[in-house]
Structure 1
Amino acid sequence: MSLRCGVVVRSVRPRVFGKYLCSSVRAVSSLPDEKKGFLQNGPDLQDFVSGDLADKSTWDEYKGNLKRHKGERNPKILVECLTPDFRGDLKAIEKVTLSGLDVYAHNIETVPELQRKVRDPRANFDQSLRVLKHAKEVRPDVISKTSIMLGLGEVDEQVYATMKALREADVDCLTLGQYMQPTKRHLKVEEYITPEKFKYWEKVGNELGFHYTASGPLVRSSYKAGEFFLKNLVAKRKTKAL
């Protein structure tokens, strides 16, 4: 069983991966009553999503409930949080990292050379890399995870250099998937990557030392097939810590 959550704090403006890849995330001043009740009474642990954690009191309540559900209901729950870059706010990164999660996920989306084309101008590769690196510095045992979308015009040398930089930043898990154009208003697909090429990048990821690399046309950051591996990795790290 896994618990995934998206996190937004007030200090961060709604952030979009450009007007191209995602719709914007809406930040609100407080958590609605129905969501508070949802947290207090126990969420559906497969589908729980939290995107409106805007103030400190609500964040503390969320963190407390998260730990309670893990400790009292099912200690085997795998908690993965997919976060924004918090505009480089290291304290925000630390809050999430120390909240009781198992997997800290933040997607870089594309290679450095295409960041301005693909993502919001406020986002950049170096800042995203700092997010992932700082999460590991705060909690060396946390599993860090990121995702790259292919087919946006990148070349092989750029993909390899990006993967190498991620591994040097101690990123544990990487997913690579095919970019698909959601609407005509979004960026066009520059190339449909072959299954063979995706298999090649999976091999490269394993050779670079990622603990887990998922690479395929339909792979996304929430790829379910990696859940079993992540749970085992979390269990091993917890055992080692003891």
Structure 2
Amino acid sequence: MAVLVLNNPPMNVVTLELTREMSKALAELAADPEVGALILTGEGDRAFCAGSDIKEFPGLVADRAIVSRKLGFENETYGQVAHFPKPTIAAIEGLALGGGLELAAGCDFLVVSANARLGLPEIKLGGFPSSGGTVRVTQRIGLARAKEMMMFGDMIDAETALAWRLVNKVVPSGQVRAAALEMAARLAAGPAQAMYACKKAIEDAVNCPEAEAIATALRLSEGLSRTADFSEGVRAFTEKTPARFSDRLDVRVFDVAG
């Protein structure tokens, strides 16, 4: 398992440098066969990530480079999270705002503290969520809630986020990383190829026409039927013993700084 920490306290805001470092780390972790699951979290307890570093904006605006230098690469990097080939969990303590929430929304699972506050306030700056939030947050909570969240720009609390199905679990403050590690351990102990295939099939169910999504699911199932993990799962079920998949439970922590 790997824990990727946004280390730019106190609010872990996204800078151009942090995005570059995060992209490099994600590429390395995606290719590492020893990483069975990824946890994305923030340093400290005030914020998972409070969004972009606004101090970088004047120079980007002056150079007319908001998209070319920031949003374009930010979308590519957040896409690395959304399409990470292994299970991903966002562990959110405190605030997840703007680009921070857009980043978290790319994870498979969101675990938040009871005191968490989540929001997409870009409309109050004269913009709108442009790093994948209009797609991934909308997929999670639906059109009506997405418009409410993005066009008013107000924060919501943890229980509202759970009721809206934006997050998967709310835990007491201070227990977010422990809860995420417990979930990651279960996922990392599972069959790696089946985890990837299941994630891919679910994504295609949302993003592709029905016939194409079903065809992909069948192709993936055919490949899985030939794996050692599939044989082990069948053996364990037949013999009524626990399956012995190749687990990857060692925890490694990686910091990305702004």
TM-score normalized by the length of structure 2: 0.37
**Higher alpha-carbon Rg:** 2
The higher-RCO structure (CA 8 Å, 6+ apart) is 2
Task: From the two aligned structures, give the one with the greater helix fraction.
Answer: 2
TM-score with structure 1 length normalisation?
0.39
